[in-house]
Structure formats: structure tokens, C-alpha cells
Amino acid sequence: MDTGDDELLDAAFMALADPVRRRIISRLSRGPATVNELAEPFAITKQAVSKHIQVLEQAQLVTRTRDAQRRPVHLNPARLEALTAWIDQYRLVREKQFRSLDAVLQSRAAARGTQAKDPS
């Protein structure tokens, strides 16, 4: 079991629980950006955005480098992979089970409603 990564998982999931931080991740997936650039589309102060980035940095979802007086923020895809790894670990177990017919029908019906990919 993943007893060691508990705090990192805590931090990562908590970090992604905020829509502002998720949009920051979305923005960073297209390349590094500074705090000011990241703060622009939001109606909050740069200090608030700076705190959001600190939260993402603590979760190791992003890293910061030095470039003159700017500090570009970079995405860290490895941490995102760690999250999908954790989720898949239980998602796949459940798919294999097929113990309750109700559960299967429910998950199939729900999968039709969302954009789930075919597991085959």
C-alpha cells in the first residue's frame, strides 16, 4: 500500500480541488509562465495567485526557476502521473470485480453519460 506518499497525495489532491489552481495547471501545460501572467485572467490579487502557486509547489505539481527578476513556473508532469496511478489502482480493481450486477450496470450507465474511454 502507498503509506509513504500520503502527504504528497494529500497535497496534490487538495491543490487540484481549487478551480483557480486547476486553471493554472491548464495554462502551464502550454508552457511556463510568471506569476503576473498567471494572475492576469483572474479577478484576484497577485498575492493570492502567488499563494496558489505555493500550494502547487508544495504538492510538487509545479517548480519555480530563476530568470533575471522573473520566476517562471513550470509544470511537473511526474506528479500528475502519480495521481492517475493512485486512481487507476482502485479503478481497475473495481472493473475486474463484477461481483454486483447493479454496480456494473451503474458504472456502465454513468460511463455513457461522461466522456469515459473504452477500457478494452
Q: Which CB, 47 or 108, lies closer to a copy of itself?
A: 108
Helix axes 77-97, 101-113, angle to 10 degrees: 140
Contact characters 18-37, a copy of itself, x per CB under 8 A: xx--xx-xx--xxxxxx--x
Whole-angstrom Cα distance, residue 15 to residue 20? 10
Count of helices and strands (H, E) across the chain: 6, 2
Q: How far is the CB of 95 from DNA (least distance, A)?
A: 25
Distance of CA 12 to the CA centre of its chain: 7
Buried (b) or exposed (e) across 78-95, using 16+ Cβ within 10 A? ebeebbeeeeeeeeeeee
Asked if 94 interacts with a copy of itself (CB under 8 A), we say yes
> Site for a copy of itself (CB under 8 A): which residue of 42, 50, 64, 83?
83
In the complex, the residues that contact a copy of itself under the rule CB under 8 A are 1, 3, 6, 9-10, 13-14, 16-19, 22-23, 25-26, 29-34, 37, 63, 65, 67, 70, 72, 74-88, 90-91, 93-95, 97, 99-100, 102-103, 106-108, 110-117, 119-120
